[in-house]
Amino acid sequence: MSNEEKPEIQGESFLVTALEAGTRVDLFLNERLDWNSRGRIKEGIKLGSIKVNREVVKPSYKIREGDQVDVLSEPPPPEDFLLPEDLPLEILHEDASILVINKEPFIPVHPGAGHRTGTLANAFAHHFQQLSDVAGPLRPGIVHRLDRDTTGVLCVAKTNRAHYSMTSQFHDREVSKTYTAIAEGVMEFDEYVVDKPIGRHPKNPIKMAIVDHGRASYTRFEVVERFNNFTLVRCFPKSGRTHQIRVHLESLKHPIACDRLYGRRHRITFGDLASLAAGDPANRKLLDRQALHATTLGFTHPLTGESVVYEAPLASDMQAFLDALRETRRGS
Protein backbone atom coordinates (compact mmCIF):
# COMPACT_ATOMS: atom_id res chain seq x y z
CA MET A 1 0.00 0.00 0.00
CA SER A 2 -0.75 3.86 -3.36
CA ASN A 3 2.75 0.91 -2.82
CA GLU A 4 0.78 3.35 -3.23
CA GLU A 5 1.41 2.90 -5.59
CA LYS A 6 2.78 -0.38 -5.03
CA PRO A 7 2.38 0.12 -1.27
CA GLU A 8 2.82 -3.65 -0.62
CA ILE A 9 4.21 -6.76 -2.29
CA GLN A 10 1.46 -7.91 -4.58
CA GLY A 11 0.33 -11.43 -3.60
CA GLU A 12 -1.68 -13.91 -5.60
CA SER A 13 -4.69 -16.05 -4.68
CA PHE A 14 -5.90 -19.21 -6.37
CA LEU A 15 -9.23 -21.02 -5.93
CA VAL A 16 -9.03 -24.79 -6.27
CA THR A 17 -11.40 -26.36 -8.80
CA ALA A 18 -12.88 -29.85 -8.74
CA LEU A 19 -10.38 -30.99 -11.39
CA GLU A 20 -7.43 -29.84 -9.26
CA ALA A 21 -8.65 -31.37 -5.99
CA GLY A 22 -6.40 -34.07 -4.55
CA THR A 23 -3.14 -32.52 -5.82
CA ARG A 24 -0.29 -31.70 -3.45
CA VAL A 25 -0.26 -27.96 -2.82
CA ASP A 26 3.41 -27.62 -3.85
CA LEU A 27 2.73 -29.37 -7.18
CA PHE A 28 -0.41 -27.28 -7.67
CA LEU A 29 1.56 -24.04 -7.25
CA ASN A 30 4.44 -25.26 -9.39
CA GLU A 31 1.96 -25.39 -12.29
CA ARG A 32 0.36 -22.05 -11.48
CA LEU A 33 3.42 -19.89 -10.71
CA ASP A 34 6.36 -18.94 -12.91
CA TRP A 35 8.97 -19.23 -10.15
CA ASN A 36 10.70 -22.17 -11.89
CA SER A 37 11.67 -23.52 -8.46
CA ARG A 38 9.66 -26.11 -6.60
CA GLY A 39 12.20 -25.81 -3.78
CA ARG A 40 11.35 -22.16 -3.26
CA ILE A 41 7.66 -23.03 -3.20
CA LYS A 42 8.27 -25.66 -0.50
CA GLU A 43 10.32 -23.18 1.52
CA GLY A 44 7.58 -20.56 1.24
CA ILE A 45 4.97 -23.06 2.46
CA LYS A 46 7.12 -24.08 5.43
CA LEU A 47 7.88 -20.48 6.41
CA GLY A 48 4.26 -19.35 6.14
CA SER A 49 4.39 -17.06 3.12
CA ILE A 50 2.09 -19.49 1.31
CA LYS A 51 -1.13 -20.47 3.07
CA VAL A 52 -4.27 -22.49 2.38
CA ASN A 53 -7.48 -20.94 3.68
CA ARG A 54 -5.21 -18.58 5.65
CA GLU A 55 -3.65 -21.51 7.51
CA VAL A 56 -0.08 -22.82 7.39
CA VAL A 57 0.04 -26.32 5.86
CA LYS A 58 2.69 -28.83 4.79
CA PRO A 59 3.95 -29.02 1.18
CA SER A 60 2.34 -32.47 1.00
CA TYR A 61 -1.13 -31.10 1.87
CA LYS A 62 -3.73 -32.37 -0.62
CA ILE A 63 -5.84 -29.44 -1.79
CA ARG A 64 -9.63 -29.72 -1.91
CA GLU A 65 -12.23 -28.12 -4.13
CA GLY A 66 -12.96 -24.60 -2.89
CA ASP A 67 -9.64 -24.18 -1.06
CA GLN A 68 -8.08 -20.73 -1.38
CA VAL A 69 -4.30 -20.80 -1.80
CA ASP A 70 -2.64 -17.47 -1.00
CA VAL A 71 0.91 -16.57 -2.06
CA LEU A 72 1.91 -13.62 0.10
CA SER A 73 5.17 -12.63 -1.59
CA GLU A 74 6.57 -12.47 -5.09
CA PRO A 75 9.45 -14.63 -6.26
CA PRO A 76 12.75 -12.78 -6.07
CA PRO A 77 14.30 -11.43 -9.26
CA PRO A 78 17.21 -13.33 -10.82
CA GLU A 79 20.26 -13.64 -8.57
CA ASP A 80 22.46 -10.59 -8.89
CA PHE A 81 24.87 -8.50 -6.89
CA LEU A 82 23.46 -5.44 -5.14
CA LEU A 83 26.00 -2.63 -5.00
CA PRO A 84 25.97 -0.97 -1.55
CA GLU A 85 25.78 2.84 -1.83
CA ASP A 86 26.17 5.48 0.86
CA LEU A 87 22.90 7.27 0.13
CA PRO A 88 21.19 9.38 2.82
CA LEU A 89 18.24 7.93 4.73
CA GLU A 90 15.81 9.73 7.04
CA ILE A 91 15.09 7.16 9.75
CA LEU A 92 11.83 7.59 11.66
CA HIS A 93 12.17 4.43 13.78
CA GLU A 94 14.56 1.51 14.19
CA ASP A 95 14.57 -1.56 16.42
CA ALA A 96 15.70 -5.19 16.20
CA SER A 97 12.86 -6.20 13.85
CA ILE A 98 11.96 -3.25 11.64
CA LEU A 99 13.18 -0.01 10.17
CA VAL A 100 10.85 2.85 9.23
CA ILE A 101 12.08 5.63 6.94
CA ASN A 102 10.74 8.78 5.34
CA LYS A 103 11.33 8.15 1.63
CA GLU A 104 12.57 11.04 -0.47
CA PRO A 105 11.25 11.77 -3.99
CA PHE A 106 12.96 10.68 -7.22
CA ILE A 107 14.40 7.45 -5.82
CA PRO A 108 13.18 3.93 -6.70
CA VAL A 109 12.71 1.45 -3.88
CA HIS A 110 14.67 -1.35 -5.56
CA PRO A 111 16.59 -2.02 -8.79
CA GLY A 112 14.64 -2.61 -11.96
CA ALA A 113 14.80 -2.06 -15.67
CA GLY A 114 17.10 0.88 -16.36
CA HIS A 115 18.23 1.49 -12.77
CA ARG A 116 20.58 -0.95 -11.04
CA THR A 117 21.96 1.65 -8.63
CA GLY A 118 20.69 4.73 -6.83
CA THR A 119 17.81 2.89 -5.13
CA LEU A 120 16.78 2.51 -1.51
CA ALA A 121 17.85 -1.13 -1.68
CA ASN A 122 21.40 -0.02 -2.50
CA ALA A 123 21.29 2.33 0.49
CA PHE A 124 19.95 -0.41 2.78
CA ALA A 125 22.77 -2.73 1.70
CA HIS A 126 25.30 -0.09 2.75
CA HIS A 127 23.79 1.03 6.04
CA PHE A 128 22.51 -2.25 7.55
CA GLN A 129 24.23 -5.58 8.08
CA GLN A 130 21.06 -7.54 8.77
CA LEU A 131 17.89 -7.32 6.70
CA SER A 132 15.39 -9.99 5.67
CA ASP A 133 16.31 -11.93 2.54
CA VAL A 134 12.86 -13.32 1.76
CA ALA A 135 12.40 -11.14 -1.34
CA GLY A 136 15.81 -11.99 -2.78
CA PRO A 137 19.24 -10.34 -2.92
CA LEU A 138 18.07 -7.26 -4.85
CA ARG A 139 15.29 -6.42 -2.37
CA PRO A 140 16.76 -6.71 1.13
CA GLY A 141 14.14 -6.06 3.77
CA ILE A 142 11.55 -4.73 1.35
CA VAL A 143 7.98 -5.71 2.25
CA HIS A 144 6.08 -2.96 0.41
CA ARG A 145 6.83 -0.23 -2.08
CA LEU A 146 6.16 3.36 -2.98
CA ASP A 147 6.45 4.79 -6.48
CA ARG A 148 9.70 6.49 -7.43
CA ASP A 149 8.20 9.98 -7.08
CA THR A 150 6.04 9.28 -4.03
CA THR A 151 7.42 10.28 -0.63
CA GLY A 152 6.68 9.21 2.92
CA VAL A 153 6.53 6.28 5.33
CA LEU A 154 8.19 3.04 4.23
CA CYS A 155 8.67 0.02 6.51
CA VAL A 156 11.63 -2.38 6.10
CA ALA A 157 12.00 -5.80 7.72
CA LYS A 158 15.26 -6.66 9.45
CA THR A 159 14.40 -10.32 10.05
CA ASN A 160 12.55 -12.95 8.04
CA ARG A 161 10.07 -13.33 10.89
CA ALA A 162 9.26 -9.63 10.68
CA HIS A 163 9.05 -9.87 6.88
CA TYR A 164 6.45 -12.64 6.92
CA SER A 165 4.47 -10.88 9.64
CA MET A 166 4.36 -7.65 7.63
CA THR A 167 3.50 -9.28 4.28
CA SER A 168 0.73 -11.24 6.00
CA GLN A 169 -0.70 -8.04 7.52
CA PHE A 170 -0.60 -6.26 4.15
CA HIS A 171 -2.25 -9.22 2.43
CA ASP A 172 -5.01 -9.46 5.03
CA ARG A 173 -5.58 -5.67 4.91
CA GLU A 174 -4.67 -5.26 8.56
CA VAL A 175 -2.37 -2.31 7.81
CA SER A 176 -3.78 1.23 8.00
CA LYS A 177 -2.44 3.73 5.48
CA THR A 178 -3.03 7.44 5.05
CA TYR A 179 -1.76 9.45 2.09
CA THR A 180 -1.79 13.18 1.38
CA ALA A 181 -2.29 14.38 -2.19
CA ILE A 182 -2.76 17.65 -4.03
CA ALA A 183 -5.27 17.06 -6.81
CA GLU A 184 -5.96 19.15 -9.89
CA GLY A 185 -9.22 21.11 -9.92
CA VAL A 186 -11.57 22.02 -7.10
CA MET A 187 -13.31 18.92 -5.73
CA GLU A 188 -16.98 19.62 -5.11
CA PHE A 189 -17.81 17.22 -2.27
CA ASP A 190 -16.12 16.80 1.10
CA GLU A 191 -15.85 13.02 0.79
CA TYR A 192 -15.59 10.53 -2.06
CA VAL A 193 -15.47 6.74 -2.16
CA VAL A 194 -14.07 4.93 -5.19
CA ASP A 195 -14.72 1.18 -5.24
CA LYS A 196 -13.56 0.16 -8.71
CA PRO A 197 -11.28 -2.68 -9.91
CA ILE A 198 -7.80 -1.86 -11.18
CA GLY A 199 -5.77 -3.77 -13.75
CA ARG A 200 -3.19 -3.22 -16.46
CA HIS A 201 -4.19 -0.58 -19.02
CA PRO A 202 -5.37 -2.36 -22.20
CA LYS A 203 -3.39 -0.05 -24.50
CA ASN A 204 -0.48 1.23 -22.38
CA PRO A 205 1.50 -1.43 -20.45
CA ILE A 206 3.15 1.09 -18.11
CA LYS A 207 -0.20 2.40 -16.88
CA MET A 208 -2.95 0.95 -14.73
CA ALA A 209 -6.65 1.55 -15.34
CA ILE A 210 -10.11 0.81 -14.05
CA VAL A 211 -11.05 -2.37 -15.92
CA ASP A 212 -13.79 -4.95 -15.44
CA HIS A 213 -11.30 -7.81 -15.07
CA GLY A 214 -9.11 -5.90 -12.59
CA ARG A 215 -8.51 -6.58 -8.90
CA ALA A 216 -10.91 -5.16 -6.32
CA SER A 217 -9.73 -1.72 -5.18
CA TYR A 218 -11.23 0.65 -2.61
CA THR A 219 -10.14 4.19 -1.66
CA ARG A 220 -11.87 6.81 0.48
CA PHE A 221 -10.96 10.48 -0.01
CA GLU A 222 -11.51 13.41 2.36
CA VAL A 223 -11.13 16.99 1.16
CA VAL A 224 -8.93 18.97 3.55
CA GLU A 225 -8.52 22.34 1.82
CA ARG A 226 -9.53 23.95 -1.47
CA PHE A 227 -7.49 26.43 -3.52
CA ASN A 228 -7.70 28.11 -6.90
CA ASN A 229 -7.70 25.12 -9.28
CA PHE A 230 -6.28 22.63 -6.74
CA THR A 231 -7.51 20.56 -3.76
CA LEU A 232 -5.61 19.16 -0.78
CA VAL A 233 -7.03 15.70 -0.12
CA ARG A 234 -6.44 12.94 2.42
CA CYS A 235 -6.52 9.42 0.98
CA PHE A 236 -7.39 6.16 2.76
CA PRO A 237 -6.70 3.14 0.53
CA LYS A 238 -8.13 -0.10 1.85
CA SER A 239 -6.44 -2.24 -0.78
CA GLY A 240 -2.92 -1.76 -2.14
CA ARG A 241 -2.97 -1.96 -5.92
CA THR A 242 -0.32 -0.50 -8.17
CA HIS A 243 -0.97 3.25 -8.71
CA GLN A 244 -4.28 2.86 -6.85
CA ILE A 245 -4.67 6.40 -5.49
CA ARG A 246 -3.44 7.92 -8.75
CA VAL A 247 -5.89 5.90 -10.85
CA HIS A 248 -8.85 6.47 -8.53
CA LEU A 249 -8.32 10.23 -8.38
CA GLU A 250 -7.95 10.35 -12.16
CA SER A 251 -11.29 8.50 -12.42
CA LEU A 252 -12.86 11.38 -10.47
CA LYS A 253 -11.45 13.81 -13.07
CA HIS A 254 -9.11 15.18 -10.42
CA PRO A 255 -5.70 13.63 -11.13
CA ILE A 256 -2.79 14.28 -8.80
CA ALA A 257 -0.88 17.46 -9.62
CA CYS A 258 2.22 16.82 -11.78
CA ASP A 259 1.37 13.15 -12.29
CA ARG A 260 3.29 12.29 -15.46
CA LEU A 261 1.17 9.22 -16.23
CA TYR A 262 -2.33 10.25 -15.24
CA GLY A 263 -2.28 14.05 -14.93
CA ARG A 264 -2.59 16.97 -17.33
CA ARG A 265 0.83 18.60 -16.84
CA HIS A 266 4.25 17.44 -15.74
CA ARG A 267 5.44 20.47 -13.80
CA ILE A 268 3.95 23.51 -12.08
CA THR A 269 5.58 26.93 -11.97
CA PHE A 270 4.67 30.11 -10.14
CA GLY A 271 3.20 31.34 -13.41
CA ASP A 272 0.63 28.53 -13.32
CA LEU A 273 -0.94 30.02 -10.21
CA ALA A 274 -3.45 32.82 -10.27
CA SER A 275 -0.92 35.38 -9.00
CA LEU A 276 2.81 35.62 -8.28
CA ALA A 277 4.57 36.36 -5.04
CA ALA A 278 6.67 39.50 -5.20
CA GLY A 279 9.89 38.95 -7.09
CA ASP A 280 9.10 35.40 -8.22
CA PRO A 281 9.65 34.82 -11.96
CA ALA A 282 6.75 33.11 -13.68
CA ASN A 283 8.91 30.21 -14.87
CA ARG A 284 10.35 29.34 -11.44
CA LYS A 285 9.56 25.70 -10.73
CA LEU A 286 7.26 24.84 -7.86
CA LEU A 287 6.77 21.11 -8.37
CA ASP A 288 7.85 18.56 -10.96
CA ARG A 289 6.73 15.23 -9.52
CA GLN A 290 3.39 13.79 -8.45
CA ALA A 291 2.12 15.50 -5.31
CA LEU A 292 1.58 12.31 -3.31
CA HIS A 293 2.93 11.56 0.17
CA ALA A 294 2.52 8.47 2.39
CA THR A 295 1.68 10.24 5.64
CA THR A 296 1.02 7.44 8.15
CA LEU A 297 1.44 3.68 8.37
CA GLY A 298 -0.10 1.64 11.17
CA PHE A 299 0.29 -2.07 11.90
CA THR A 300 0.92 -4.67 14.59
CA HIS A 301 4.59 -4.70 15.52
CA PRO A 302 5.98 -8.08 14.42
CA LEU A 303 8.01 -8.58 17.61
CA THR A 304 6.06 -6.91 20.43
CA GLY A 305 2.51 -7.41 19.12
CA GLU A 306 1.71 -3.78 19.93
CA SER A 307 -0.30 -1.55 17.62
CA VAL A 308 2.04 1.11 16.23
CA VAL A 309 1.60 4.09 13.91
CA TYR A 310 4.43 5.96 12.20
CA GLU A 311 4.08 9.37 10.56
CA ALA A 312 6.32 11.20 8.08
CA PRO A 313 6.32 15.00 7.74
CA LEU A 314 5.26 16.34 4.37
CA ALA A 315 8.06 16.53 1.80
CA SER A 316 9.57 19.99 1.37
CA ASP A 317 8.51 20.42 -2.27
CA MET A 318 4.88 19.58 -1.52
CA GLN A 319 4.96 21.90 1.50
CA ALA A 320 6.37 24.72 -0.65
CA PHE A 321 3.61 24.13 -3.20
CA LEU A 322 0.96 24.27 -0.48
CA ASP A 323 2.46 27.49 0.92
CA ALA A 324 2.36 29.07 -2.56
CA LEU A 325 -1.26 27.98 -3.03
CA ARG A 326 -2.25 29.52 0.29
CA GLU A 327 -0.39 32.73 -0.48
CA THR A 328 -2.06 32.95 -3.87
CA ARG A 329 -5.49 32.43 -2.32
CA ARG A 330 -4.89 35.21 0.20
CA GLY A 331 -3.77 37.56 -2.52
CA SER A 332 -6.68 36.89 -4.85
Summarize pLDDT for 249-299 with one digit per residue, the tens.
999 999 999 999 999 877 777 667 754 455 555 566 788 899 999 999 999
DSSP state at residue 162:
H
Confirm whether 147 is a catalytic residue.
yes
Instruction: Band the pLDDT of 79: cuts 50, 70, 90.
Output: low
Pairing of strands 292-300, 151-157: parallel
CATH 3.30.2350.10 fits 91-331, yes or no: yes
DSSP state at residue 74:
P
pLDDT at 160: 95
Marked catalytic residue, from 67, 70, 147, 317: 147
Decide which of 237 and 276 is more confident.
237
Strand blocks (E) in the chain? 12-15, 50-52, 68-71, 91-94, 98-103, 151-157, 176-184, 191-195, 198-200, 208-210, 218-226, 230-237, 268-269, 285-287, 292-300, 307-311
Q: Annotate 20-48 with three-state secondary structure.
A: CCCCEHHHHHHHHCCCCCHHHHHHHHHHC
Residues 147-168 as b or e (16 or more Cβ within 10 Å = b): bbbbbbbbbbbbbbbbbbbbbb
Summarize pLDDT for 149-183 with one digit per residue, the tens.
999 999 999 999 999 999 999 999 999 999 999 99
pTM listed for this prediction: 0.74
Q: Which residues contact 17 (CB under 8 A, 6 or more apart)?
A: 65
Decide which of 107 and 279 is more confident.
107
Instruction: Band the pLDDT of 9: cuts 50, 70, 90.
Output: very low
Summarize pLDDT for 10-33 with one digit per residue, the tens.
468 899 998 889 999 988 888 888
Summarize pLDDT for 193-208 with one digit per residue, the tens.
999 999 999 888 889 9
**3-class SS at 99?**
strand
- The torsion angles phi and psi of 252, rounded to 5 degrees, stand at -85, 5
Q: Which residues contact 152 (CB under 8 A, 6 or more apart)?
A: 102, 103, 146, 179, 293, 294, 295, 312, 315
Instruction: Sketch the domain layout of the chain as residue ranges.
Output: 17-66, 91-331
pLDDT at 285: 73
Sign of CA dihedral 159, 163, 169, 175: positive
Summarize pLDDT for 312-330 with one digit per residue, the tens.
999 999 999 999 899 887 6
Decide which of 113 and 129 is more confident.
129
